[in-house]
Structure 1
C-alpha cells in the first residue's frame, strides 16, 4: 500500500530533520526523493509513483494554505509604506536583475527566466512565521513588517498563478464581485459553528468546496477562491481561531505537496548546481531587503531582523512553478530546502548576530525615524496602563479622574491614534520588543497595569519591568487561574481573575443601591 509507505517515510525523515532544529518540510522533500530512488531500484521493489490521490491531497493543502493566508489578510497589516513599498520594490528589482541573468547563464527562454525570477523573489511564509513565533516576535515591530511583506508576496504569487494558468472566466464569474454581501451570513455561520469539529468543517467547506470548486466552476482559479473566502472572514473576531483549528489539517495536506515533488524524480547534477548557485545569491536577497527597510526609515536593528526573516526561498515559489514551470519543480524544491538549511540557524542567532554587526549597520540608518520606532520616555508618569483594549481603556478612564500623571501604551498604531484623538495620553510601544525595554526611561513610575490580551506579552512585561529595576506595584488580569499564577511568578504583585472581578463589580453596583444590606465583597486573586 503506497500510502502507508509515504506516511512512514515522511514521519521518519520529518522527525529526524526536526530533531536538528530544521523545518520538517525539508524532511518531507527528502522522503520523496528517497522514495523516488527506492522505486528506481528493481531489487527493492517499492512502488512510489505519484498517484491521483497524492496529487489531490497536495492540491487541497495548497487551497487550505491560501485560505489561512486570507484569514490573516487584514488591511491594517499591509497598508503601510514599508510593507507595500518594500515588497513591491523587492519583487521588481529581483525580477529585473534575475531575469536577464538567468536568460544569459542558463540558455532558457525569456518566459522561463522571468518565471524562475518570480519564484525566487518570494520568501517563505511557513519558515518566517514559525521562526518569529518560536522567538515570540510575531507581534514585535519587525515581526509585523515581515508578515505584512509575506502577505503581499502571497498576493503577488496568486496573481502570477492566475495569469499563468491561462483560464478564461465564464460570464458567471461576475458573481464574485457580490461575495462581500455574503459577509453577514458567513459571520453568523462562524458564530454558530462553536469551537469543535463544526468549526473545522466550516473552514473546509469554504476553502475547498465553495471557494475552490466554486471559483473553478466559473472559470476562475480555485486558489483565488480559497484566498477570497479567507479574506472575507479576516475581520471576524474568531478568524484566528478558525486559522488555528485548520493548522494541523493544512500541514498534513501540505506534506502531500512536498512528497509529490520529491517522488516526481531525483535531482540531477544540473538541479543541484542551480540550487547551490541560488543559495549563494541569498545574501544579496537579504541585503536588498535590509536597505529597502532603511529607505522607509526603519532602524538598522528592525531592518536587519526583518531582512533575516525573509532571507530564504518560498514554498509559494514551488506552487507557482507547479502551474507555470512543472519541469523546474525539482530544482526549485532543492533550492527551497537548501535555503531553509541556511536561514533557520541564522534566524535563531539573529539577535547575537546584530549585536556583532551593529557598529557597521547603524551608520546606514536614516536620521528621520519611523513613527512606529520613536524612543519612549515615561517622563513624570506615575501610573502606566499597558494594553489599551476594552479593559485597559476602562482602567485608564477610571484612574484619570484622580490621577493626572497617567499614560497608556499599545502595540497597535491605529488604536494609539484613535485614543490620542479621544484625548487620552497613549503612545506606541510593543512589550515584546527587547529594544523598547532597553531604551525605556521610567524615573517617576509607581504602578503598572498589565491589560494586554496576550498572556505572553504580560509575562514578558512583568519580567522586563523587574529586570530593568522597577520596584513599584504591578497588577494584571487573566481569564485563567494558572495564567494568573504565572504572571505573579514573572514579577507581578497581583493578578486578578477577570470573570471574578466582573462579578465583584456587579455586586458592588448592587451594594451602592442597597447599602448596609449585604456583606462587602472579597476579590478573587492569584498572588
Structure 2
C-alpha cells in the first residue's frame, strides 16, 4: 500500500513539473516533502522508510555505474576539462568556505564540505538538456560532460574520505580489476540485446561493484563507478547505458523522495536556497572565463557555462554521507537551481545570438585546436574516421584519387597521419555545428569509418540534411546495425567481417591465377 502511495505522488507531481517545463525530479522532491507532511495520516511506518532508503541507494549506484560507462579518459584528459573542472572547484571552495563559515556560524570542516557540495553542477540536468537538443556530442556538450565527470570523481573521493570506513587487506585487489576487462567484454558480447544485458549491468553495478567493494571496506559508490569504467571502451557501452536508463531513473525517484521525506524545509532552509540561487550567475561566469582562458570560442564557453551554472544531485549524495543535517536545505537549493536553469538552457542559442556582439570580442585570437574550421574545398572523396579501417580505405583510394581528405576527432591521431603525408584534418563528425557551417562544393562520396554507430547515423543524417546527394558508404561489425545506418541516409553499409572475407578470397584468387605461384613439391602434391 505504501509503495502505491509513493508511486502516485511521484508520478502526479513529476507530471506537473514536466508540464511546467521543469525536470520531473523537482516534482519528486516536492512529492517527498508532501509525503513527509502527511506520513502520519497515511500510516507510513519505519519499515517502509527503510525500503525507500534501500531503493535510493540502488539508484545512486546505477547512476554512478552509467557515469562510469561514459568515462573515456581520452575525452577527460584535456586541458579545458581537467583544468576548467579543478580550477573552478578550487576557486568555488575558496570563496564559499569562508562565507559559509562566517555567516552560518559552523565549524571549518562542515563549511568546507558544504562548499564542496555547492561546487558541483548537475550531471542529470546537463545530460537531459543536451539529449533533448541532440547536442550530447557537440563540442560544448562534450566539454560540459567532461567537467561534470571530473566533479563526480571529486565527489567520490570526498565521500570515500569522509565515510570513515577502514579498508581491509583485500582492498588491494582493486588494482587487479583491469585484468577482468577481457572477461567482462566477453560477458557483454554473450548477453545479447535484451534482458540479459540489463541483468549484467545490474549485477556489475549492485553486486560486484556495490556489495563487493563494501565487503573489502571500500565505498560502494566507488565500486559502481569503476565497474562502469571497465566497460567504457566496449562498443556496446552506450547500449548498456541506454538499457539501464529507465531502471536507474525509477530507483533515483526513490532517492529524491527519500530526501524530501527526511523533513520539511524551514525558513532557514528556504533563505539558504534563495541566497545560493543568487550566486548561480557567478558560478556560470567563472566557468565562462576559465573556458575562454583555455582558448574555447565564446559560443562554446557560453553554452557550456549555462549547462554548468546550477547545483548538483551529487551534492545531495555527498550530503547524505557527510552532511545529513544539511540534506533538506541542499535539496531545496538543487530544486530551485533546476527551476531557474532548465528554461534558461532551452533558450541558450537565442541568448547567445543576443549577447554575441558583447562576448565574442573576449575570445582568444588563438583558437582551440578542436574548434578550427574545416573547409573541404575541392575534395571529391571524404573519409570520416581515420582509424585502422579508415586509414586502409584512404590508402587504397590514394592510388587513384588525388582530391581526397580524411577527418578525425582525435588530435593525437592527426599528427601521425600528417607525418605520413595524408591530407587529414580535425573535425568532430558528430558535432551539429560542424555540419551546419560545412562547405563541400565538390564532394561526391563519403566513407564513414567511425567506431560508434551513433556517429555514423549522425554523420549520414547531417549530410543529407545539408543537401548532399552523393554516395555514402559505411562499415559495421553488427548485422542488425546495417538497416539503422541505411535509414539514417547512407546508400549502403557493409559488414566488416564479410568484406574482410571477400578481400581475403580476392587475394587468394589473385595469387592462384597470377601464374607466379611456386608449385608444391611432388611429395606434398
Using the size of structure 1 for normalisation, the TM-score is 0.88
The count of residues paired between Structure 1 and Structure 2 equals 501
What are the residue-to-residue correspondences of 1:99-498 with 2, within 5 Å? 99-389=97-387, 392-437=390-435, 439-452=437-450, 453-454=453-454, 455-466=456-467, 473-477=470-474, 479-481=481-483, 484-487=486-489, 495-498=491-494
* Residue 29 of structure 2 corresponds to residue 32 of structure 1: no
Aligned-pair distance for 1:444?
A: 4.2
Aligned-pair distance for 1:370?
A: 0.9
- Report the CA distance shift for 1:21/1:410 in structure 2 as closer, same or farther (over 3 A): farther
Aligned-pair distance for 1:5?
A: 0.3
Distance 2:495 2:181 in 1: 31
The CA deviation string for residues 384-403 of structure 1, in whole angstroms up to 9 with x for no partner, is 23344565444433322111
Distance 2:173 2:497 in 1: 49
Distance 2:38 2:193 in 1: 43
- Report the CA distance shift for 1:266/1:456 in structure 2 as closer, same or farther (over 3 A): farther
Residue 521 of structure 1 corresponds to none
The CA deviation string for residues 498-527 of structure 1, in whole angstroms up to 9 with x for no partner, is 34995799399679959xxxxxxxxxxxxx
- Report the CA distance shift for 1:210/1:432 in structure 2 as closer, same or farther (over 3 A): closer
Aligned-pair distance for 1:265?
A: 1.2
Distance 2:324 2:89 in 1: 22
Residue 83 of structure 1 corresponds to 81
After TM superposition, the structure 1 stretch with the greater mean CA deviation from structure 2, 233-242 or 79-88, is 233-242
After TM superposition, the structure 1 stretch with the greater mean CA deviation from structure 2, 81-90 or 12-21, is 12-21
After TM superposition, the structure 1 stretch with the greater mean CA deviation from structure 2, 404-413 or 300-309, is 404-413
After TM superposition, the structure 1 stretch with the greater mean CA deviation from structure 2, 91-100 or 429-438, is 429-438
Aligned-pair distance for 1:377?
A: 2.2
| Contact 2:259 2:327 (C-alpha < 8 Å) held by counterparts | yes
- Report the CA distance shift for 1:286/1:184 in structure 2 as closer, same or farther (over 3 A): same
| Contact 1:272 1:334 (C-alpha < 8 Å) held by counterparts | yes
Distance 1:268 1:495 in 2: 62
Aligned-pair distance for 1:464?
A: 4.8
Candidates 45, 49, 52, aligned match of 2:50: 52
Using the size of structure 2 for normalisation, the TM-score is 0.88
Distance 1:11 1:191 in 2: 36
After TM superposition, the structure 1 stretch with the greater mean CA deviation from structure 2, 12-21 or 245-254, is 12-21
After TM superposition, the structure 1 stretch with the greater mean CA deviation from structure 2, 409-418 or 113-122, is 409-418
- Structure 2, gaps ≥5 residues long: 476-480, 511-525
Distance 1:61 1:504 in 2: 43
* Residue 502 of structure 2 corresponds to residue 506 of structure 1: yes
Distance 2:449 2:213 in 1: 43
